[in-house]
Amino acid sequence: MASVRFPARPRPAPTAPTAVDDAGAPTFTLPAAQLGGSAISFSGITAVTIVTVPLANGSRTPVLKLEADDIVIDDFLLDVRTATGPSLVTNSGRMELRGNVRVYLDSVAGTLLDGTAFTLGAETPPPGDELPPSLLKVHLGLVGVSANSITLALSHQAMH
């Protein structure tokens, strides 16, 4: 008796979770600020979700929401731009977000400790609720942040 082989069925690609409205989110503006640092550390991550947040123009936009106890960014650099005109650049040796941290991002890019590239966004969320505990050479598309305490060590701001 001859065996019959059936072609393998392609597996469907994983789909991004559906964004839910974050009713408690502040109102934000776009474009996202560009946040960079030499390293970022997370502690007490309680959730990584895709949500929609309100914008000042009355619309909503999907973002990656990260909730944690604490986030620390070394060699912090924040570039807040508008479509036209100058940008406000803030730099600090260290930024510390402490207690009830909520970070709203449109993108995350960095390098894992083993040198592997790591990228996330509202359209490319992490599998499950997993995030690495540390990233190097981090770049975030920062829509907004809130925390019980936000501290910048030796900070400087300038218009460019």
Task: Note whether residue 13 is domain-resident.
Answer: no
Residue 34 lies in a domain: yes
| Average of per-residue pLDDT across 116-124 | 77
Q: What are 5's two structure tokens?
A: 């082989």
Residue 117 lies in a domain: yes
Per the domain annotation, does 32 fall within a domain?
yes
How does residue 62 score in pLDDT terms, banded at 50, 70 and 90?
A: very high
pLDDT tens by residue, 96-115: 999 999 999 998 888 888 88
In a domain, 57, yes or no: yes
Tokens of 137: 């050479």
Q: Distance between alpha carbon 113 and the CA centroid of its chain, in Å?
A: 18
Domain that holds residue 40: 20-159
User: Is 141 within the bounds of a domain?
Assistant: yes
Domains contained in the chain, number: 1
DSSP 28: B
Q: Which residue has the higher pLDDT, 15 or 58?
A: 58
Of the candidate ranges 5-14, 29-38, 39-48, 60-69, the one whose mean pLDDT is the lowest? 5-14
- Hey, what's the torsion of the CAs at 2, 3, 5, 6, to 10 degrees? 100
Distance (Å, whole) CA 22 – CA 112: 29
Give residues with Cβ within 8 angstroms of 93, minimum separation 6. 74, 75, 76, 153, 154
Please report the pLDDT score of residue 92 as a whole number.
Answer: 95
Q: Alpha carbon of 40 to those of 65, 71, 76, 111, 149: distances in Å?
A: 16, 7, 9, 10, 17
The answer to whether position 126 is within a domain reads: yes
